[in-house]
Amino acid sequence: MAGRSGAMQMLIKTFHKYSGKEGDKYTLNRGELKELLLEELGTYLGVNNEAVEKVMNDLDANNDGEVDFTEFIILMGALTVACNDFFLDTKIFIPLTK
Ligand SMILES: [Ca+2]
Ligand SMILES: [Ca+2]
């Protein structure tokens, strides 16, 4: 269980590291979201302006122009699934029993 709460803390910390930079402390505006994506995920996902725009539009469920923590968690969930698929595809996890 320690692993899971550690991961949650990481998400919360990461979110607040960027959400507190401008405007509302508890939501990410477009600029903050872009910074978060570029700095935290850019190297993995090849984040560009177009991708940020798409993520923003997809995530902003209530259309207030900001991404709140609930909306952010949905992104992280989707990315986790995507990464899991990616790792399964690339067969990085080699079965231990053979
Ligand atoms: Ca903010
Ligand atoms: Ca929103």
What per-residue confidence (pLDDT) applies to 94? 46
- CATH tag for 17-85 (out of 1.10.238.10, 1.10.3720.10, 3.40.50.1000, 1.10.10.10): 1.10.238.10
Other beta carbons within 10 angstroms of residue 67's beta carbon come to 27
Domain ranges, ordered by start, for the chain: 17-85
What per-residue confidence (pLDDT) applies to 36? 92
Q: Give 6's pLDDT tier (boundaries 50, 70, 90).
A: confident
- The answer on pLDDT for 74 being more than 90 is no
**Which residue from 60, 62, 17, 23 is spatially nearest to 35, judged by alpha carbons?**
17
Distance 26 CA to ligand 1 centre (A): 6
What per-residue confidence (pLDDT) applies to 24? 97
Q: Which ligand is nearest to the CA of 30?
A: 1
Distance 70 CA to ligand 2 centre (A): 9
What per-residue confidence (pLDDT) applies to 84? 74
Distance 8 CA to ligand 2 centre (A): 20
Distance 67 CA to ligand 1 centre (A): 9
Instruction: Please write the tens of the pLDDT for every residue from 22-53.
Output: 999 999 999 999 999 888 877 666 667 787 88
